Copies of this chain bind each other. A is one copy, B any other.
Amino acid sequence: MRRFLTDRARRAVAASLRGATRPAAPSPAPAAALSRPSPSAPSAMAAYMARAMSTSAAGTPPVSLDTINPKVLEFKYAVRGEIVTHAQNLEQELHKNPESLPFDEILYCNIGNPHSLGQQPVTFFREVLSLCDHPALLDKSETHALYSSDAIERAWQILEKIPGRATGAYSHSQGVKGLRDEIAAGIAARDGFHASGDNIFLTDGASPAVHMMMQLLIRSEKDGILCPLPQYPLYSASIALHGGSFVPYFLDEETGWGLEVDELKKQVDEARSKGITVRALVVINPGNPTGQVLAEENQKKIVEFCKNEGLVLLADEVYQENIYVEDKQFHSFKKIARSMGYTDDDLPLVSFQSVSKGYYGECGKRGGYMEVTGFNADVREQIYKVASVNLCSNISGQILSSLIMNPPKVSISCMELFQSGIVMAPI
């Protein structure tokens, strides 16, 4: 069954790749005209006819499916797509008539969203966020009756890092410097190699960070990004939205969804033979949706491959805390690259992290960061410019990002409560 699904995915991607050779942004037609799909696409033709009829009946609207950005029309985002919409409709039906369906509840497992399924937040994290949202509490003695002393202390420490203690102000476009430094210290402690707050870009979850890198790297449909299959659909969606080409590589189900460098090489060569400039390799480790954890030796080969082929390594490492087997361990790609002797001058490498995954699963907070290393200073400036166009990410998400990278230590008094929270978390 799983093999069948993989084959089906291969065919679907092969079909979408054939489609990718069409120009991504044709010259716009006048608002009244309808661009004709090619006769080889019968379902598109049916949709075109239906649209043509509805448009002529209702006059000529300023915006129709035929006059929007075709990249928007073409991209797919299945985790919030048709199946979810169908489930929402069923839920409304259940609400109106509870007897109408052979079940009485819908559990949404379309996306990792543990709090929606009953996971409780980690108390320490929420205490700190609550205090930072209302810093006036820190001056009141009654606060000690409601909040742990560790959370009060941490909230003070965090507010001291924020200029003017103003959690209501826009921060630096990369995020509050003091929080970035704290995250960098957490990365250094995890990896055993130096990390700098100057390389951290705090973002509203990992997704906007991925979009920023795609926006930077993709110039046209002739630029390709290597992505795993099975994949998390953010990547195919973001590549399509930015007008690039999705270059798939297949994880090997037989070897526990292994990532083979031979397969990467084969796909890069094939893409290049079609005139595609491969810009970057996306690796999701631990895997999503496949759950594999890459071995150190395998990671070294991947780093070497990127170095040899001149690729940016985009390391989706948001599941670094979600490993549920004893003999596996997470190693960040930066740690691997540094352990091989590669420095900041050798390899452009971006690591994505998020507060939405791990034992915390704080999806609604929209916190995350990317650690950007190995780019020239002038390219770094451009990444900063892209980050600055939305001014900054939300400060609560920034604070929570610093907390997950520097959680309470064993010595402090709230540890017992914190650990009981963790035990509840990875459901």
A interface vs B, CB < 8 Å? 25-28, 30-31, 51, 54, 58, 60-65, 67-70, 72-73, 75, 77, 80-81, 111, 113-116, 118-119, 121, 123, 126-127, 129-131, 133-134, 136-137, 140, 142-143, 145-146, 163-164, 166-171, 173, 204-205, 207-208, 211, 215-220, 222-223, 234, 237-238, 241-243, 277, 279, 310-312, 345, 348, 356, 361-366, 375-376, 378-379, 382, 385-386, 388-397
Interface pair B166/A364, CB less than 8 Å apart: yes
Query: Which residues of chain B are within 8 angstroms of A204 by Cβ–Cβ distance?
Result: 204, 366, 390, 393-394
Interface pair A376/B64, CB less than 8 Å apart: yes
CB-based nearest B residue for A137: B146
Interface pair A376/B63, CB less than 8 Å apart: yes
Q: Which of B68, B164, B170, B348 contacts A62 (CB 8 A)?
A: B348
Known: A63-B375, A219-B25. A394 touches B391 (CB 8 A): no
Interface pair A111/B28, CB less than 8 Å apart: no
Interface pair A312/B389, CB less than 8 Å apart: no
Complex-state Cα separation, A142 to B141, whole angstroms: 12
Interface pair A65/B378, CB less than 8 Å apart: yes
Of A130, A137, A142, most buried by chain B (CB within 10 Å of CB) is A130
Query: Which residues of chain B are within 8 angstroms of A143 by Cβ–Cβ distance?
Result: 146
Interface pair A62/B220, CB less than 8 Å apart: no
Q: Which of B31, B121, B388, B394 contacts A168 (CB 8 A)?
A: B121
Complex-state Cα separation, A77 to B204, whole angstroms: 20
Query: Which residues of chain B are within 8 angstroms of A312 by Cβ–Cβ distance?
Result: 62-63
Q: Which of B129, B131, B394 contacts A366 (CB 8 A)?
A: B394
Interface pair B310/A379, CB less than 8 Å apart: no
Known: A51-B378, A142-B146. A116 touches B169 (CB 8 A): yes
Interface pair B64/A170, CB less than 8 Å apart: no
How many chain copies?
2
Known: A146-B143, A390-B208. A168 touches B63 (CB 8 A): no
Q: Which of B63, B65, B363, B390 contacts A169 (CB 8 A)?
A: B363
Query: Which residues of chain B are within 8 angstroms of A137 by Cβ–Cβ distance?
Result: 130, 146
Known: A28-B223, A222-B27. A216 touches B69 (CB 8 A): yes
Complex-state Cα separation, A204 to B378, whole angstroms: 28
Complex-state Cα separation, A7 to B391, whole angstroms: 28
Query: Whole-angstrom distance from the CB of A219 to the nearest CB of chain B?
Result: 5
CB-based nearest B residue for A397: B394
Query: Which residues of chain B are within 8 angstroms of A113 by Cβ–Cβ distance?
Result: 169-170
Q: Which 6 A-B residue pairs are closest in the complex by CB-CB distance?
A: A80-B388, A130-B134, A115-B168, A116-B169, A366-B394, A364-B395
Interface pair B123/A127, CB less than 8 Å apart: no
Interface pair A115/B164, CB less than 8 Å apart: yes
Interface pair A25/B220, CB less than 8 Å apart: yes
Query: Which residues of chain B are within 8 angstroms of A166 by Cβ–Cβ distance?
Result: 115-116, 364
A sample of 8 more A-B contacts (CB under 8 A), given A28-B277, A68-B382, is: A63-B376, A65-B376, A69-B218, A80-B388, A111-B391, A115-B166, A115-B168, A130-B130
Interface pair B397/A65, CB less than 8 Å apart: no
Known: A27-B222, A166-B116. A207 touches B348 (CB 8 A): no
Of A30, A62, A131, most buried by chain B (CB within 10 Å of CB) is A62
Query: Whole-angstrom distance from the CB of A161 to the nearest CB of chain B?
Result: 13
Complex-state Cα separation, A234 to B390, whole angstroms: 8
Q: What are 16 A-B residue pairs whose CB atoms fall within 8 Å in the complex? A: A25-B25, A64-B378, A64-B379, A67-B219, A69-B242, A70-B219, A72-B216, A77-B388, A113-B170, A123-B136, A133-B396, A170-B363, A204-B393, A215-B241, A366-B393, A394-B394
Interface pair B364/A163, CB less than 8 Å apart: no
Interface pair B394/A68, CB less than 8 Å apart: no
Query: Whole-angstrom distance from the CB of A225 to the nearest CB of chain B?
Result: 13
